Every structure is written in C-alpha cells, then in structure tokens.
Structure 1
Amino acid sequence: MATAASTSTKNVGSLLAQVAQERGDAVAIATPARRGKDGRRVYQTITFAELEADSTRLAAGLAELGVTPGTRLALLVKPSIDFVSLVFALFKVGAVSVLIDPGMGRKNLLRCLDQVEPEGFVAISIVQAVRVLMGRRYAQAKKNVTVGRRWFWGGATIDDLRKADASGFQTFAAADDDPAAIIFTTGSTGPPKGVLFRHEGFYEQVQQIRDRYEIAPGEVDLPGFPLFGLFNSAMGVTSVIPEMDASRPASVNPLNIIEPIHDWQISQSFASPAVWNKVSLYCEQHQIQLPTLKRVLSAGAPVPPHVLRRMKSVIHPEGDIHTPYGATEALPIASIAASEVLGGTELESQQGAGTCVGRRFSGIQWRVIRISDAPIETLDQCEEVAAGEIGELIVSGPVVTRRYFTSEEATRLAKITDGERIWHRMGDVGYLDAEDRFWFCGRKAHRVQTPDGDMYTIPCEAIANNHDAIYRSALVGVGEPGEQFPVMIVEPWPDRYPQTKEAIDALLAEVRERCAAHPLTETIYDFLLHPSFPVDIRHNAKIFREKLAVWAEERLDLPHQD
C-alpha cells in the first residue's frame, strides 16, 4: 500500500484532493454523448468530488493488483473521464505512466514500448488484444487492466478496480525526484525518445501555467490535448473534452469544437494550430463568433499569423491567443500573445528576424551559447554569445527534465550539468533581444553549414514566403556539413499552383529575384518547387527537411561555383 502524502509532496494527485474539498460539487469533466430529442448534445459528467473518489478507488485497485511506486504501466486509453481518472490514480499509487502518442504510427509505437519494457498495460480492448497476440514480446507485462470489454484474455478490468476498498488507501508521498511518467517525443528530428518526468516537473507545470495565464478555479476549458484535462482538474477548471482524434488534430470537424464552446460558455481552450486553422476558417466562412472564449492556447507547432488574425476576430474582443514555447523535455519555457505578434514582431519576422517566442516563464533560466554538435558535460564548458547573436538555446528550471529513460547517449547529448542543476539543450537556434525575448531561427539539426558559415531555416524561409503565391518554403543543405550549398524549396498555395513548365519557371524566377535582393538569401542559387511538403501527422506543420534534402539532391547538378 502506498505511503501517506505529506503536505509538502509534489504529487499532482494531492492537488485534486484540495480542489475536491473546495469545489466538490462543480463539474470536473464533461464528455459528449448522444443527442437529445431536441437535437442538442447530451454530456456525461463527473464532479471534482466524484473524480477524487473514483481516482482513489482506481489507485487502491491498482495497489491490490500489485502496483507499487515505480511500476511502469503503459497507459493507452482514449481521452475521456476514465483517462483523466486513471492518470490521477497512477500518480496516487506512485506508478510511472508510459504515455505514447498513437499518432506517431504503429512501428514507432511498438519501438517505444520495446524500449521501456512496461510491467503492465492499462489500455482499451484492442490494445490488450494486440498485446496478447504478440505472445512473448510483452511477456513481462503482468499487471494488465482492460478499459472496456475484456475478450479472450484474463486480468482485471477498470470496473474490477472500482470495486476495491479505498478506505485505507493513502496517496504516495512523492519526493521531487520520484519518477512520475515516461513520455515519448514525436521524433521530428530523430527517433522518438522516452523522456523521464519527475513528480516535481508535473507539479511545477501546473503552477507555472496557472500563474502565467492567470487561470482561476471555476473557468471552463476545452482541452484539445488530453493531458491538459489533467492540468485543468488540478487547477479547479472544468474540462469539456471534445469529440476528435487527438493524435490527428488536423482532421477535426470544426463543429465539434464550436458546439461545446457555445454549450458550456467555454472561456479557455488549448489545441494544436491545425485545430484553430480549421475552426477559424469555418467561423469566418459561416460568420460565427465565439464571444465567451477569452484565452486560447496553442502549441506543438508554429502558429501562422493568418491563423492568429482570424482567431482574434472571432473570440471575445478582449481575448487573446497565447503560444507557449517548449519541448517534451522542457515545457513551458516561454510564451507570446497574438496581440504582441500582430502588433509588431510579425513584421520583423517577415524581414528575416526569426520568430519571436516571447518571454520566459518565471521558473525558467535561459542562455544562448555557441552552437556545437558535440556533448557538453558541464556549464563551464559553454561559451555564452552576446545578445542578438545566433546560438543554441539552453534552459534550466523545475519543469526541465533531467534525463531520457531510453537512451544514455541522448541524455549525454542533450543535458549539461551545473552542480545539482541540469540544463537542457533545446536543439533550437536563435538569439535573445534587448528585452530578453527569444527569437527562434530554426532547429540546430536543420541549419545549412556552408563554407562561408551557417544559414538558418526560419529567417531565410521568411524571405521566400513573402511572395504571395508561396504557402511555405524549406531551406535545405546538399553535401557534407561545412561544404553544403543551400537549396530553397517552395510549396505554392493550392489555388496558386502553376500548371505549366513555363509558369513554374516564372514563379521560381520571381522567388529567386526576391531572395537575391536580401542579404540573408543572396547566396542561394538553386530553387525547386514541391507539390506538397512531407510533414508530421499530428500537426501537419513540422516540415521534414531531412527528406526534402534527399529529394533536392536527386534533382540537382553539382553545386554552383562563384
């Protein structure tokens, strides 16, 4: 049985207990169900008091199953009341939740599971069926719970767990460094890596997000990202979980976002830029307003200014869209509001300044150091660059994870020790301005390393993107690092796509002329047109420049000589 939680514990489960005492009768989570005779959506709900009691029962049931602090359990459950309750239950019993985005594909998902070797699966029926049919591959997974109907395998169901006697159960008194979860990165610049989260990290994420955005108990949120439902419940905020595939937000039906916003008078929503692109377009086309929505959060991929502009026009007049910046290994790091982007930084970005991600959160320290592809063991080995000079960003703070669970080599490459403190190398390049805002200039792995120095993707691509026919562009390097030559690949807007070879040549000539006139891009001689960039499944926004570099090399002659 788990030990008692002290008042100083950083276990997020303890925050739910506090909320349940203060707002027990308020709705914690609502999920869309059937429609009534009047055509209106009916919602299944659970109060904070019920969520606290249910998660405690589930935790007690897990303890009876033999789950102890540190037990690794893969959680593969769809966004729902059960999902949120199970996450809190796993926190309370001290288990280490293994969270993998199914949107990364079956092969990557299985690779992640193989690396982490879970001791059990808390999963929907189809996942349990696959686990059993794979035979000895997951033979070590003995503590399994089926969420839904149990078919041809044994083990407990979630309903069995709910029969447990929770009267003597006490929440695990987590210390700061106790492991809480293993969450896998999307692998946009390499294979997915399992990031080890500590209890302190989750606890501090809740505090930092709440304080920065002034989120108050009693607000109503629409979480387009499942874990935000967990944060909401810990903050006393009602979560209305939308009907959507969270692993493929670009496929969302915008009405499934708009309808609950109106039904619940929702004041806040967190979702991918792909969601807000579709929702804002639909609202614009059908003259729909979302006047109760005062705070929109969007992360995971760049939010284009045209999306910010459209969303600003449909939400509350005094509302704003905030784009928090960070990574799986370190989140949140910084944030900027649409009003600041559209009021000034957008114009600088168009001129090649990079993308301003805003000011750091109060718990974060950051530095920009000289770019290196080698491991850096200690902070005193770093050379900090001057304000305005492009380097790589490193960050430190309580939300910064200390290591990867699945790769010591990845830990060596990404972490820098500073006494008891750990700094994380974000893998991003950019610079700090006079106001201590970070300007993102691209991924370190995507920089083009020419004989005359490095070229950075975001500033250079902005020059090509200024052509009104270009939807997006990608700067890639062909050749060996240090001897690369730059290639600019452009993708036109669908309705501006040239239909003849002459039209293609004319468009590329115009982009070439525009780039030749700017000092950032004047050394680019090769321009290619691509019909549709390879991008990530989840956000439909992160460009796979590595694939485009191979594609470009196959289509080009030897590099140009001056």
Structure 2
Amino acid sequence: MQNVNSTANIYNFISKNAQKTPHKRAVVVPSGRDKYGHRAYTSLTFKQLNDEINRFARGFNKIGIKKGTKAVVMITPSLEFYITFFALSKLGAIMVMIDPGIGLKSLKQCIAEAEPEAFIGITKAHIARVLFRWSPQTIKINVTLGPKLFWGGHRFYDLRDSDNSEFPTENMHPDEMSALMFTSGSTGISKGVVYTQGVLTNQVEYIRELYNLGSDDVDLATFPLFGLFDVSLGMTAVIPDMDATKPGKANPAYLVEAIEDNGITSIFGSPALVDNLSRYGEENKIKLPSVRNVISCGAPARNDILQRFSNMLNEGVKIHTPYGATEALPVASIDSITILNETAAETDSGKGTCVGFPDKHVQVKIVKITDEPIEEWSDSYLVEKGTIGEIIAKGPIVTKEYFKRPQNTKLAKIKQGDQIWHRMGDVGHFDDKGRLWFCGRKSHRVETEQGPMFTIPCERIFNQHPKVFRTALVGVGEKGKQVPVICVELEKSISDIDAKVIFKELAELGSKYEHTASIKNFLIHQGFPVDIRHNAKIGRELLAEWAAETLRGRI
C-alpha cells in the first residue's frame, strides 16, 4: 500500500501495465455495426493507451496545463475520456469531475466553486459553458472534443503531439490534491470532495485486494469512474452502448451483447442496472457463463434482485455489494452468497441491510446520532453494540475535506490527533459477529413522538408485498412530532390496482413487527425520484414534500 513518505500518481499504474501487458486491450468502445449486423468495437491496448497519454500530456502542457491546474473534464465515456484523465494526472493537474445530471444551476455553482483554469469537454458541454457563463473569470484554456463553434480555444486532436516518448510524470506527495470529485447531491447540495493522489492509489490497491481483480479480467464498465480503476488494475474496460447518466434505463440486450462479444469476466453496475438486466435475463432464460465477478454499489441491493441475477451466473459466482461513499470507498463489503444464506432473513424482519465486515485497512465505529458538528473525537460518543447510530470511518481511503466548504467539512469530519474520521451520514449498527448493518441515511430518519424511525428496516417489511416494487418511509410534520408515511411504487406489470386493498394488506404486514406497527398512512406514487448517478437512491426529500401536500388536511 502507499507509504505516506513516498510519492504517488495514479498514472503510474498505466505505465506499469503497458510494460507488463502491452498488447492486452485496455479500453474497448462500441463503434456502430458491421455489414453483418454485429456490434463493431474500437480499442486501445495498454501500450497504445500509454502512447496516447504521453502525446496528449505534451499537447496539454504546451497550452499551459501543468501541475496544479484545475481542469473540468466533461467527456462522455470513450477512449478520449481515459486518455484525458491519465494525461492530466501525469501532468499533476487536478481533474474536476461533476456529474452533468445534477442540473444546470448546480453545475454552474460547482464549477464556480472549483475555480478551474481549463475546460475539456464535448461540444454540447462547451455550448452550455458559454450560454450559462460557467466561470468565465477563471477558465482561460478551452479544449473541445468534437466540432468547435464560436468559443475559440483548441480542438482536442490538434493537441495530439507527434512525439509518443515518455513525458516526465509529476510524482506527487500522497497528500497533494489530484481531483475534485463532486458528490451527486442526492441528499443535499453537491460538494467537491478533495481526492489526493494517496487516496486514489490506495483505492486501486484495496479494490484489487478485496475482489482479486487483475490483468486476467475484462470488465463491463457501466460507471465511468470505476472504469478508471479497471485500467489501473490492468483489466480491460469495455464500455457498453448506454447512457452512463441513466444506468437504470440501459438496454439489457445491448449489455448482454457486450458481455458475450467480449468475454466479460467482471461486471460493475448500479442496483438499478442489475435489476433491469436480471429481469431481462429471467424473461429470456439468459445465462452469463463468462462472468465470475459482479460488483454492485450505489445503494443497498435487494435480496430478490440478488437472487434473480445469481440465477444468470455460474454456481458459486458472487455479487459483491461494497459499502462506501464518494468521500470514502471501500469501507465494507459483503457478497450475495453470504446475504442470501446468512443475513436475508434478518433483513426481511427489519434489522437493516448487512454490508459486511469493514475492510481491514479501514476503522469503522458507531456514534450517537446528532446533526451538530463533532469537532474532536471522544469515546463518549460511542454507542453500545447493536444500538443504531451514525456510521463513521477512518483510514487511507477516507478523504479529509470538501473544497472551499469549511462548514460542510466541519459537519462531516471528526479530528483525532492528525487523523480524520468521516461521518458517513448513514445510520447503522454492528452485530455480534462484527458485521456492519446499514439502516438508511441519517437525514432520512423520521422523528416521531415515540422516537426515531429508520428507512431501511421499515421499508423492507413493506417491500415484501408481491405487488410492490419498492417503498419509501417519509415523515410529515415537524421534527419530533412527525407522522410516518409509506410511499409505494408498484411493480410495472400491475394493472389491477385497488389501492384500498393494497393499503390494508400493507398495514397487516406492518402490524406484525414492533417497529412498523404504528404506520397507518400509505400513498401510491407512479415513479420515485432517484439519484442521477446510480438511479438507485430514492429521493425521499422530494417524496416527503409530495406526501405532505397530498395528505394536507388529512393528518
């Protein structure tokens, strides 16, 4: 693992892979269809990728991008995305990564906060940059991938230098900033998480160790940022034909096609994508014999989805569900075999979702729930084992601050000497075996007169109704006197909807458990709002507003 006294640069993984496996494909992207109707692909080997990184590092450097330059990168998943990320890293520049799905207003605010000097993006991104005046005071270097219209600057491929020899790499102190990764803002405003070179390189090593991934693997990279880990690990990253900002709407036939065409051994996908793919596989009796590893994160995976997808895989293949956040990943991990054989029954009875044992490099504790800052660590904040509290984590993959947001940093971090605990913003508990259980977001807890109610333990009870796709617990009213309400999204195949009957059956389900017996209010919603990154985290804040308006005058 990364020594704190050494230097670090995530680009070095690419250089090593280019020497070790020069002819192995590094990145594969779809490029239309051939005359037989088969999917065609374009690719770069590790040697070719490394050569292009050197060419573009030279080109970027000639236009003023250097160590410390903050550069917004808005390029869709492509060969150019990988070249750009690692070329910037090689230079010691700071990548500013913002999910475009957060909306134009939030994008403008995030870019303004980052104060970037450079903007590297596709034509559409530059049009938005100009029209909505994204940080014109600071952005002085513009690079366009695609047609360059009226805004000046440089065409991407004009910067491809003729010299592909090794360009000097900025090997940096592990604590030097490498990237600003903005959160999705699914439970609040998007914040720029400061990623150091040490955090990035440690993440690569820990993921390798945790899931035994390496140069023998070919990954279906449905989430662009994880694809960067793929090539760092020496894996082949295959980018499928899909909109990466809408994983839940990916065409499952295209995903299966990519898996079969490329001999995919590993899949990374959000629970929404895995759900969609598993339903398609069940309907069409599809098996995926080449796949030997699946990683699904972004939200807790439902047991029924895990079982359905497991049926598509060879016996013994595990679906791993890591737990973490943009600020700290991986914190813990569990697999489908353990879930289905050991923890599913407890989840179904409302204990929460087991997310496994903490990674051996990470310390995890449970502290008393508070919305106030905790500035200095004290053992007095700890709760007894089994008690639900806030999850906190400390370790080499835990980020230390939000960029230029001292108040948010103060709320999310706890100092312990020269070390930092990150408050995950989640609630949960440890069981007698030392496994961590997730019970929902702290901000989503419902504060009733009888005490707090937590989303995951409550929702799991009602999710077991055969006509229910998913539910969401929200609170209506002022904190401390909130009325719990269950919002219900039905399975899309359900046509004979009798709300009164469904509500009665849900109430009967809830009455069997102490923690849900008091829930008497149910509402059917046509389709829950979800986060823009994984399409899996439910937008409970929006549902709470909708429920309050719908039930106005009735409770």
TM-score normalised by length of structure 2: 0.95
Query: Which range moves more in the overlay, 107-116 or 382-391?
Result: 107-116
Please, which of 395, 399, 402 is the counterpart of residue 401 of structure 1? 399
Show the counterpart of 1:451. Answer: 449
Show the counterpart of 2:57. Answer: 59
Post-superposition Cα deviations, 1:247-299, rounded to whole Å, max 9, x if no partner, equal: 11112111221112111111111111222222222222222211000101111
Cα distance between partner residues in 2 of 1:7 and 1:191: 35
Cα distance between partner residues in 1 of 2:205 and 2:380: 30
1:103 aligns with 2:101: yes
Post-superposition Cα deviations, 1:208-256, rounded to whole Å, max 9, x if no partner, equal: 1000101121311111011222111111111111111101111211122
1:513 aligns with 2:511: no
Show the counterpart of 2:181. Answer: 183
Show the counterpart of 1:218. Answer: 216
**Aligned residue type for 1:541:** A
Please, which of 413, 423, 427 is the counterpart of residue 425 of structure 2? 427
Cα distance between partner residues in 1 of 2:311 and 2:512: 35
Cα root mean square deviation, aligned: 2.0
Q: CA deviation at 1:113?
A: 1.4
Please, which of 170, 185, 206 is the counterpart of residue 208 of structure 1? 206
* Equivalence map 1:6-155=2 (5 Å): 8-134=6-132, 137-155=135-153
Cα distance between partner residues in 1 of 2:222 and 2:137: 34
Show the counterpart of 1:248. Answer: 246
Cα distance between partner residues in 2 of 1:490 and 1:107: 30
* Matched pairs, number: 552
**Aligned residue type for 2:291:** L
Show the counterpart of 2:528. Answer: 533
Query: Which range moves more in the overlay, 509-518 or 228-237?
Result: 509-518
Cα distance between partner residues in 1 of 2:43 and 2:493: 44
From the superposition, tell whether residues 519 and 63 of structure 1 become closer, same or farther in structure 2 (CA, over 3 Å): same
- Contact 2:58–2:161 (CA<8 Å) still a contact in 1? no
- Contact 1:508–1:529 (CA<8 Å) still a contact in 2? no
- Contact 1:428–1:441 (CA<8 Å) still a contact in 2? yes
Show the counterpart of 1:491. Answer: 489
* Equivalence map 1:267-306=2 (5 Å): 267-306=265-304
Cα distance between partner residues in 1 of 2:553 and 2:128: 49
Q: CA deviation at 1:453?
A: 1.6
**Aligned residue type for 2:540:** R
From the superposition, tell whether residues 559 and 360 of structure 1 become closer, same or farther in structure 2 (CA, over 3 Å): farther
Cα distance between partner residues in 2 of 1:555 and 1:34: 47
Q: CA deviation at 1:525?
A: 3.2
From the superposition, tell whether residues 557 and 284 of structure 1 become closer, same or farther in structure 2 (CA, over 3 Å): closer
**Aligned residue type for 1:96:** I
Show the counterpart of 2:479. Answer: 481
Cα distance between partner residues in 1 of 2:100 and 2:166: 36
- Contact 1:291–1:317 (CA<8 Å) still a contact in 2? no
1:356 aligns with 2:354: yes
Query: Which range moves more in the overlay, 49-58 or 289-298?
Result: 49-58
Structure 1: tracts of 5 or more residues without a match: 1-5
Q: CA deviation at 1:443?
A: 0.6
Aligned-partner SS, 2:322: strand
- Contact 1:464–1:515 (CA<8 Å) still a contact in 2? yes
Query: Which range moves more in the overlay, 422-431 or 508-517?
Result: 508-517
Aligned-partner SS, 2:407: helix
Cα distance between partner residues in 1 of 2:206 and 2:172: 19
Cα distance between partner residues in 1 of 2:112 and 2:134: 12
Query: Which range moves more in the overlay, 8-17 or 490-499?
Result: 490-499
Cα distance between partner residues in 2 of 1:193 and 1:18: 33
Aligned-partner SS, 2:275: helix
Aligned-partner SS, 1:514: helix
**Aligned residue type for 2:413:** K
Cα distance between partner residues in 2 of 1:32 and 1:75: 21
**Aligned residue type for 1:523:** S
Cα distance between partner residues in 1 of 2:458 and 2:133: 51
From the superposition, tell whether residues 308 and 559 of structure 1 become closer, same or farther in structure 2 (CA, over 3 Å): same
Post-superposition Cα deviations, 1:114-145, rounded to whole Å, max 9, x if no partner, equal: 22121110111222233234458423211221
From the superposition, tell whether residues 135 and 283 of structure 1 become closer, same or farther in structure 2 (CA, over 3 Å): closer
**Aligned residue type for 1:395:** A
Show the counterpart of 2:340. Answer: 342
Structure 2: tracts of 5 or more residues without a match: none
Post-superposition Cα deviations, 1:147-169, rounded to whole Å, max 9, x if no partner, equal: 22322332222222212646573
**Aligned residue type for 1:311:** F
Show the counterpart of 2:308. Answer: 310
Cα distance between partner residues in 1 of 2:375 and 2:489: 41
Show the counterpart of 1:229. Answer: 227
Show the counterpart of 2:517. Answer: 522
From the superposition, tell whether residues 79 and 382 of structure 1 become closer, same or farther in structure 2 (CA, over 3 Å): farther
**Aligned residue type for 1:240:** V
From the superposition, tell whether residues 557 and 71 of structure 1 become closer, same or farther in structure 2 (CA, over 3 Å): closer
From the superposition, tell whether residues 511 and 426 of structure 1 become closer, same or farther in structure 2 (CA, over 3 Å): same
Aligned-partner SS, 1:138: coil
Cα distance between partner residues in 2 of 1:125 and 1:529: 41
Cα distance between partner residues in 1 of 2:538 and 2:293: 28
**Aligned residue type for 1:450:** T
Cα distance between partner residues in 2 of 1:397 and 1:7: 16
Please, which of 373, 376, 386 is the counterpart of residue 375 of structure 1? 373
Aligned-partner SS, 1:495: coil
Cα distance between partner residues in 1 of 2:285 and 2:521: 43
Cα distance between partner residues in 2 of 1:181 and 1:219: 26
From the superposition, tell whether residues 430 and 143 of structure 1 become closer, same or farther in structure 2 (CA, over 3 Å): same
Cα distance between partner residues in 2 of 1:268 and 1:363: 24
- Contact 1:90–1:96 (CA<8 Å) still a contact in 2? yes
Cα distance between partner residues in 2 of 1:490 and 1:44: 44
- Contact 1:376–1:382 (CA<8 Å) still a contact in 2? no
Cα distance between partner residues in 1 of 2:234 and 2:529: 40
Cα distance between partner residues in 2 of 1:80 and 1:378: 44
TM-score normalised by length of structure 1: 0.94
Post-superposition Cα deviations, 1:440-486, rounded to whole Å, max 9, x if no partner, equal: 11110011112222111111122222322222222222222222232
Q: CA deviation at 1:530?
A: 2.9
Cα distance between partner residues in 2 of 1:235 and 1:533: 36
**Aligned residue type for 1:508:** F
From the superposition, tell whether residues 331 and 391 of structure 1 become closer, same or farther in structure 2 (CA, over 3 Å): same
